[in-house]
A = this chain, B = another copy of it.
């Protein structure tokens, strides 16, 4: 099948490679020519612009966008004028599903079909395949199924899984791609996927932080009056090896998972994670998940806590914390900071 791919970052390039390997005919474009060259070496056809890419595709054209969500709008508008009635535009990035619904309205007026695909798998997807959550018109999604099959995990993987665990489940979910519903459904499901991902990541992170501090009973904390003294230091004398423990849990524990596998890898390479500062980005999905929970009046305390911790990691709680210090100064005369005198701190409220 012929497909045009716009956006050759880590994800787009790997997906193109996977499609080329499966025998599909790829025309590719990116603002960086080096990214294009890397793919033409593997059999892709390069192009010099989005318009050039469009001109090289046969009707009905199938184009896969794999670009940052902030740039999708401009690309959709541009392509709306370049494409022909009956063409298919796929957004495989991390767009907000409500934008999909809007974009479909625009594209529909041009008789262009729109498909939204939430794509999970990260850099592991090149080898292992991608998990694809798809929204749009059902027959159009069926038309591009060869693309979905090539991108999703291989048949071997699919067969094994089908046999062992989901034997009675019909459909393509067990092959790693799924038609989820009308326009936006793919990105809706991907949005929640990422919201859950934040929660799971945070659960491991909190637990490992507690394990790491299991030796605090060995520390003198006389000097730090900011912290309540430990009541029994005998219970906090463990020096735990996080690389060993995360590896251990991968083997038949209830919390084994892909994210745990990755954590074990990272801790094996850098046991104290000294190469990181702990400044954690958040892409839109985490926030949109909470927005959605609010609209639905569904409680989401875990997913929210996970997101807020990322905000805090970037210093965004600091003013709130200054307010707390200012209040304590007002009612208790507490001087802020590590060096405050312990004399009567504990008792003035």
Q: Given the complex, which residues of B lie within 8 Å of A234, measured CB to CB?
A: 101
Q: Is A114 an interface residue (CB 8 A)?
A: no
With both chains docked as a complex, state the minimum distance between the C-beta of A175 and any C-beta of chain B, in angstroms.
7
Residue A169 lies at the interface, judged by CB distance under 8 Å to chain B: yes
Indicate if the CB atoms of B200 and A319 lie closer than 8 Å. no
Bound-state CA distance A338–B69 (Å) is 18
In the complex, chain A residues 205-231 whose Cβ is within 8 Å of any chain B Cβ: 205-214, 216, 225-231
- Find out whether the CB atom of A337 lies under 8 angstroms from the CB atom of B279: yes
In the assembled complex, which residues on chain B have CB atoms less than 8 Å from the CB atom of A98? 235
Q: Are B259 and A327 neighbours in the complex by a CB distance under 8 Å?
A: yes
Q: In the complex where A131-B251, A174-B247 touch, is A203 in contact with B210 (Cβ < 8 A)?
A: no
The yes or no answer to A4 lying at the interface (CB within 8 A) is no
Contact between A300 and B295 (Cβ–Cβ < 8 Å)?
no
Q: Is A240 an interface residue (CB 8 A)?
A: yes
| Interchain CA distance A349-B201 in the complex, whole Å | 13
Q: Is the interface of A mostly helix, strand, loop or mixed?
A: helix
> Which of B130, B240, B294, B316 is close to A181, meaning CB atoms less than 8 Å apart?
B240
A301 at the interface (CB under 8 A from B): yes
By a CB distance below 8 angstroms, the chain B residues around A216 are 295-296
- Complex Cα distance, B177 from A247, in Å, reads 10
User: Which of A20-28, A47-55, A78-86, A339-347 contacts the other chain?
Assistant: A339-347
- Neighbouring B residues of A180 by C-beta, 8 Å: 238, 240-241, 245
Whether B175 contacts A195 by the Cβ 8 Å rule is no
Q: Is there an interface contact between A316 and B298, defined as CB atoms closer than 8 Å?
A: yes
Q: A121: nearest residue on chain B (CB-CB)? A: B252
Q: Count of A residues near B, CB < 8 Å?
A: 186
Stretch from A38-46, A139-147, A157-165 at the B interface: A157-165
Chain B residues with Cβ under 8 A from A318's Cβ? 278
A328 in contact (CB, < 8 A): yes
* Residue A264 is within 8 A (CB to CB) of chain B in the complex: yes
Beyond A206-B199, A301-B305, A336-B277, whether A327 also contacts B10 by CB under 8 A is no
Q: How far is the CB of A251 from chain B (nearest CB, A)?
A: 4
Interface centre among A153, A282, A287, A305 (most CB of B within 10 A): A305
Chain A 155-185, CB-CB to B under 8 Å as 1, else 0, gives 0011001000110110101111110111011
Q: Name the B residues within 8 Å of A178 (CB-CB).
A: 244-245, 248
Q: Is the CB of B120 within 8 A of A177?
A: no
A59 close to chain B: CB less than 8 A: no
A332–B126 Cα distance when bound, in Å, is: 12
Interface residues as binary, A238-281 with B (CB distance below 8 Å gives 1, 0 otherwise): 11110111011111111111111111111110100100111111
Closest beta carbon of chain B to A16's beta carbon, Å:
13
Given contacts A10-B332, A200-B203, A266-B329, 12 further A-B contacts (CB under 8 A): A11-B344, A68-B342, A68-B346, A122-B331, A166-B268, A184-B238, A188-B211, A200-B200, A205-B321, A214-B296, A258-B331, A297-B316
A-B contact pairs, 14 of them (CB 8 A): A10-B344, A11-B347, A70-B229, A133-B245, A157-B252, A193-B254, A209-B323, A226-B280, A276-B322, A277-B325, A277-B337, A287-B295, A298-B316, A299-B320
